[in-house]
Chain A
Amino acid sequence: MLLNALPMRACAPARSALEFTRLFATATPSSEVSSTSSQPEPNTHFRITLRRSAISLPANIKGTLVALGIHRRMQTVYHRHTPDIAGKILRVKELVEVENVPESAVRTKLEQRIERKAPRGYIVARSKFGQLDI
């Protein structure tokens, strides 16, 4: 029942419970990922975010965004450092924001969505259905 589920979501959970759910709900993506080892990981990818829309700009600009795999504003894509990607970024340099990130910071679309998700606010202490995963 939806009505039964609502108060559960609204009630403030214990602090430790929140932190626990955060463990698998949201891993914060950091721009400067510092590895635990002494030497920092080399940057291998471009993190490209579309900040400005290409609406009513020439078709070659819109096509460049399609080639980069971007189809909406604020979408983030990752591309390996290659000269052709660098050229594409520079073609749309007024529209995008670019960062150099190491391999470990690369996220797929699904991973980005999971990281965006808010923590549920509760944890399942036990279930009569046994050990169900999430």
Chain B
Amino acid sequence: MFGAFRATQPTMVGLLWKTPWKLSRTRKANVRSRLKKVDAVIEAVRASGMQCKSLVQALELPKEHEMPPKDKYTVFSRREQGYRKGIHKVPKWTRLTLRTNPKGF
């Protein structure tokens, strides 16, 4: 029943990685801290007084405190029921900016 040879899903069926369907409280806190760090970078570039197209685009992004929780922790997906899936299902999601939704969603 216990030990290294117990019958569990990972030992019986081989490779089995489960991704939780939603983020834990800690992971959500980490999401928010990453969003704030990106906000700080945009703010620093804005404070430098430089003007460029990418800065205009970056300033159009919603800031962390302006975003609803739905946008922080889920993303649009055209295949999912309800058109939303957990943001942690996106490859490389911790190093991407996924703040906005397509028009109408």
Chain A positions near chain B (C-beta within 8 angstroms): 43, 46, 51-52, 54, 56-57, 81-87, 89-91, 93-100
Contact = CB atoms under 8 A, between A and B. Distances in A.
Chain B contact residues, majority secondary structure: helix
Contacts of A100: 44, 47-48
B26 to A, nearest CB: 18
A86 B95 contact: no
A57 B54 contact: no
A78 to B, nearest CB: 13
Given A57-B92, A86-B54, A93 B42 contact: yes
Chain A contact residues, majority secondary structure: mixed
Interface of B: 34, 37-38, 40-42, 44-45, 47-55, 57-58, 92, 94-97
Contacts of A93: 38, 41-42, 45, 58, 97
Top 5 A-B pairs ranked by shortest CB distance?
A86-B50, A98-B44, A90-B54, A83-B52, A93-B41
Nearest to A45: B48
B45 A89 contact: yes
